[in-house]
């Protein structure tokens, strides 16, 4: 199975900050990498698929980049509604596997 | 509007069985692969099982293989997860999720249900 490792596990940031979350795969996943946002008590929401494609309806302040084993999710200007936990997930092969999550908290 | 509504979660004793359902609406259910993902409260996401459009191909995590069975009824727009020989380690919120497309994109999950809680305890 492909192991996904996110860093940091948590971060504190202020509204308006630029936030970068990284995800590393234990082997190449090409560009088959997705990012989800999850708020407490809610289901995950797809933000980015195929490493850099923005899911319909997702604000443009979210962007993704990377290929192979190293990927990033960037929030260009953090908004109050962005405080949540973010997960990366590889869709290159079965089983699809998730990172452990990055919790973005208010500073 | 795409909607996925899980049901069937409950408190069950170790060794017991449970069947989860996921009622889908707002899209052509028979055209998309479907998946179950679980989450221990306060923890991360774990893929459990997937099924292709026809139901002819199914996939399972090693942790549930031989105990869980995924199925679908395209005439009822419903996905199922039959869970047998349950243990405490199966306690989690179970989400159904829709694949975004075909090929590798079937493993990209663009819509999720609200989840149903399964608790395995004596």
Contacts of B56 (CB under 8 A, 6+ apart): none
pLDDT digits (tens, 9 = 90+) for A42-87: 999 999 999 999 999 999 999 999 999 999 999 999 999 999 999 9
Give the up-direction half-sphere exposure of residue A92: CA atoms within 13 A in the CB hemisphere: 20
In the numeric block, the tokens 């990366």 are attached to A88
In this prediction, residue B102 carries a pLDDT of 79
d(CA B11, CA B119): 5
pLDDT band at residue A93 using 50, 70 and 90 as cut-offs: very high
- The mean pLDDT value for A5-15 works out to 97
Task: Evaluate if residue B103 carries a pLDDT over 80.
Answer: no
In the numeric block, the tokens 């679908």 are attached to B72
Taking the Cβ of residue B117 and every Cβ of chain A, the question of whether any pair is shorter than 8 Å is answered with no
Task: Evaluate if residue B84 carries a pLDDT over 80.
Answer: yes
Q: Which residues in chain A touch residue B112, judged by CB atoms under 8 angstroms apart? A: 43-45
Q: Which residues in chain A touch residue B107, judged by CB atoms under 8 angstroms apart? A: 32, 91-92, 94, 96
CA-based nearest residue in chain A for residue B58:
A94
Task: Evaluate if residue B8 carries a pLDDT over 80.
Answer: yes
Task: Evaluate if residue B104 carries a pLDDT over 80.
Answer: no
Taking the Cβ of residue B108 and every Cβ of chain A, the question of whether any pair is shorter than 8 Å is answered with yes
The answer to whether B44 contacts A87, with C-beta atoms less than 8 Å apart, is yes
Contacts of B103 (CB under 8 A, 6+ apart): none
d(CA A83, CA A88): 16
Task: Evaluate if residue B49 carries a pLDDT over 90.
Answer: yes
pLDDT band at residue A14 using 50, 70 and 90 as cut-offs: very high
In this prediction, residue A74 carries a pLDDT of 98
Q: What are the DSSP calls for B57-96, one per residue?
A: -EEE-TTTTTTEEEEEETTTTEEEEEE-S--GGG-EEEEE
What 3-state class would DSSP assign to A83?
Answer: coil
In DSSP terms, which residues pair with A71 in a beta bridge? A23, A66
pLDDT band at residue B2 using 50, 70 and 90 as cut-offs: very high
In this prediction, residue A21 carries a pLDDT of 98
pLDDT digits (tens, 9 = 90+) for A21-50: 999 999 999 999 999 999 999 999 999 999
Percentage with pLDDT > 90 across chain B: 95
Task: Evaluate if residue A100 carries a pLDDT over 80.
Answer: yes
């Amino acid at each position: 199975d492909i192991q996904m490792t996110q860093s940091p596990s948590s971060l504190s940031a202020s509204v308006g900050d630029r936030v970068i979350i990284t995800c590393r795969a234990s082997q190449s996943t090409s560009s088959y990498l997705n990012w989800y946002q999850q708020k407490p008590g809610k289901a995950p929401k797809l933000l980015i698929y195929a490493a850099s494609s923005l899911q319909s309806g997702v604000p443009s302040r979210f962007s993704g980049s990377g290929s192979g084993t190293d990927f990033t999710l960037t929030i260009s200007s953090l908004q109050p509604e962005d405080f949540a936990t973010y997960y990366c997930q590889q869709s290159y092969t079965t089983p699809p596997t998730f990172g452990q999550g990055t919790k973005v908290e208010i500073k | 509007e795409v909607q996925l509504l899980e049901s069937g979660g409950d408190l069950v004793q170790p060794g017991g069985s449970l069947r989860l359902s996921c009622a889908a609406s707002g899209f052509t259910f028979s055209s998309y692969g479907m998946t179950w993902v679980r989450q221990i409260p306060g923890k991360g996401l774990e893929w459990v099982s997937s099924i292709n459009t026809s139901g002819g191909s199914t996939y399972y995590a090693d942790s549930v293989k031989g105990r869980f069975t995924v199925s679908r009824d395209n005439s009822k727009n419903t996905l199922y997860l039959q869970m047998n020989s349950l243990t405490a380690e199966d306690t989690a919120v179970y989400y159904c999720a829709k694949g975004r497309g075909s090929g590798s994109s079937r493993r990209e999950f663009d819509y999720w249900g609200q989840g149903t809680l399964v608790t395995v305890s004596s």
